[in-house]
């Protein structure tokens, strides 16, 4: 059913009237709708002869001593930043130890191995299969575990902190390595040493461009340039790294033994060679799956379109990257399993695209019939919802798209709060039906006619009504942060997408 607020609710954002069955009564509610997977959405009929009491749920005060400490705990010291900090400072300690142990003159091969190891970790946390394994390990935690344990594991989607932390550390290590190779060349000039120094400076330049371009401000303002800079600098660096590894091996093998071993034997005996092999494999695995596939567009309105794919089936809780210009830009979307079977017996999947920029606007005005896809489907934020016994799902606008996969899976009982202008007109009957099937009492707030709701207050209402363990929100950055902070500062686990990962 659609939720229609009274004028009092719209005026008072701190007080929400909620109709609940009293815990003291037995079999005294009108009808209870459950989205538990075990009941499969069945309606349990109970007696209707007693009136239900009306209970007010007022937003409690936020936890913490002050607004500053709350900001530190719930916003600034995010798991993403904590992960970044732990990895970076662990490398910094190792950096200091190596320098101290060698009296300020560390061996270049040792420093190079540390740099390439961090580079490997950086790329692993962008490799789809590796990230999916991390999700599977986290979500394997049983519901019998304490909520605080499961709430911590649900933060696995902050893995971007490991990617950026290792990446920045790799750059620092490589600057040090370049200084070491320059020192060695000055002391013992050789043709291999010169090539080693030149390729080292090329690598440092590429790494610095990647790090500078990945700054959140630059990413937000010039995303297409960031993507191109990240990709092409990375490719140049990877190719240069192989050339550099051969020249460096040819130089340093002469210093380590007499007579020197062959170049091949020396290389396979170094950690640098094997970490570079893994790093290269990460790139090949992703781009080796590049293909152009058929698309079946379904125009929902002048604001949204649903793109259907039939080249493979797709389980719930996966996302996919698509593009019409694979060397320039990619766009990640959550996928939704389809039910319609094609002539090959495949159901396929779909994704919802709404007007949020140049690319999405073009896709709606000129629906594509073919698109490029790359990499393996990737788990996302909503997959961690399986860690909880019951959740509240909050979405605004096209944020309902990623949630449809969760509704399809029907793995976790949930309440739904969807705020959007003209939902039926914009997104069509099918999506409305899917939402109401997932939660017959879903709060569907039409901002066109009802104005803007207090997202935190209504979300808290649903949490208390359902006795949910966690909140998941799919929305824009500003609103996501507001709702997540509003819940976490009141002791309720809440999760929203990371926009600078």
- DSSP structure string for 456-500: HHHHHHHHHHHT-SEEEEES-HHHHHHHHHHHHTTT--EEE--S-
CA distance 300 to 422: 12
pLDDT mean over 267-273: 90
Structure tokens at 218: 């630059």
Structure confidence at residue 253 as a pLDDT band (50, 70, 90) = confident
Report the pLDDT value the prediction gives residue 343, as an integer from 0 to 100. 67
What are the pLDDT digits (tens) for 79-109?
A: 999 999 999 899 989 988 888 888 888 888 8
Report the pLDDT value the prediction gives residue 257, as an integer from 0 to 100. 66
Report the pLDDT value the prediction gives residue 262, as an integer from 0 to 100. 87
CA distance 403 to 497: 12
* SS3 of residue 446 by DSSP: strand
Largest CA distance in the chain: 96
Low-confidence winner among 17-31, 237-251, 280-294 (lowest mean pLDDT): 17-31
Q: Which of 188, 179, 137 is nearest to 159 (CA)?
A: 137
CA distance 13 to 58: 9
β pairing state of 43-45 and 31-33? antiparallel
Report the pLDDT value the prediction gives residue 99, as an integer from 0 to 100. 86
pLDDT above 70 for 259: no
Report the pLDDT value the prediction gives residue 463, as an integer from 0 to 100. 95
What are the pLDDT digits (tens) for 338-367?
A: 988 776 778 899 999 998 888 899 999 999
pLDDT mean over 204-224: 88
Which of the pair, 6 or 339, is modelled with greater confidence? Answer: 339
pLDDT above 80 for 222: yes
CA distance 478 to 491: 20
What integer best gives the mean pLDDT of the chain?
85
What are the pLDDT digits (tens) for 386-434?
A: 999 999 999 999 999 999 999 999 999 999 999 999 999 999 999 999 9
pLDDT mean over 112-137: 95
* SS3 of residue 341 by DSSP: coil
């Amino acid at each position: 059913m659609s939720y229609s607020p009274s004028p009092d609710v719209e005026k008072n954002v701190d007080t929400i009237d909620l109709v609940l069955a009293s815990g003291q009564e037995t079999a005294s509610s009108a009808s209870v709708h459950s989205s538990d997977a075990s009941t499969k959405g069945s309606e349990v009929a109970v007696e209707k002869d007693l009136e239900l009491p009306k209970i007010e749920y007022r937003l409690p005060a936020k936890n913490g001593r002050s607004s500053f400490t709350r900001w530190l705990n719930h916003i600034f010291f995010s798991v993403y930043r904590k992960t970044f900090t732990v990895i970076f400072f662990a490398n910094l300690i190792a950096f200091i130890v190596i320098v101290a142990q060698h009296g300020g003159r560390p061996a270049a091969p040792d420093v190079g191995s540390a740099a390439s190891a961090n580079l490997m970790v950086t790329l692993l946390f962008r490799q789809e299969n590796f990230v999916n394994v991390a999700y599977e390990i986290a979500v394997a935690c049983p519901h019998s575990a304490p909520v605080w344990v499961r709430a911590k594991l649900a933060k696995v989607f902050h893995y971007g902190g490991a990617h950026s932390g290792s990446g920045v550390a790799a750059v620092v290590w490589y600057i040090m390595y370049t200084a070491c190779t320059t020192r060695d060349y000055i002391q013992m000039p050789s043709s291999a040493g010169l090539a080693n120094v030149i390729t080292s400076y090329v690598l440092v330049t590429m790494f610095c461009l990647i790090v500078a371009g990945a700054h959140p401000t630059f990413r937000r303002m010039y995303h297409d340039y960031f993507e191109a800079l990240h990709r092409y600098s990375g490719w140049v660096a990877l190719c240069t790294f192989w050339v550099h590894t051969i020249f460096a091996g040819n130089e340093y093998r002469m210093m380590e033994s007499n007579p020197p071993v062959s170049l091949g034997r020396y290389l396979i005996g170094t950690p640098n060679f094997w970490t570079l092999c893994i790093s290269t494999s990460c790139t090949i695995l992703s781009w080796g799956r590049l293909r152009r596939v058929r698309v079946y567009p379904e125009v929902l309105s002048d604001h949204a379109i649903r793109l259907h794919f039939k080249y493979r089936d797709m389980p719930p809780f996966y996302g996919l990257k698509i593009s019409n210009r694979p060397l320039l830009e990619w766009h990640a979307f959550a996928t939704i399993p389809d039910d319609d079977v094609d002539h090959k017996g495949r159901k396929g999947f779909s994704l919802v695209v709404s007007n949020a920029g140049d690319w999405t606007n073009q896709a709606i005005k000129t629906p594509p019939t073919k698109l490029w896809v790359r990499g393996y489907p990737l788990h996302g934020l909503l997959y961690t919802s399986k860690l909880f016994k019951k959740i509240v799902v909050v979405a605004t606008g096209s944020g309902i798209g990623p949630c449809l996969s969760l509704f399809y899976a029907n793995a976790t009982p949930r309440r739904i709060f969807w705020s959007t202008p003209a939902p039926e007109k914009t997104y069509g009957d099918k999506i409305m039906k899917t939402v109401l099937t997932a939660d017959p009492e879903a709060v569907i707030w039409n901002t066109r006619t009802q104005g803007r709701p207090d997202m935190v207050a209504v979300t808290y209402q649903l949490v208390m009504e359902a006795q949910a363990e966690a909140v998941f929100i799919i929305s824009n950055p500003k609103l996501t942060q507001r709702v997540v902070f509003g819940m976490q500062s009141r002791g309720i686990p809440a999760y929203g997408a990371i926009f600078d990962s």
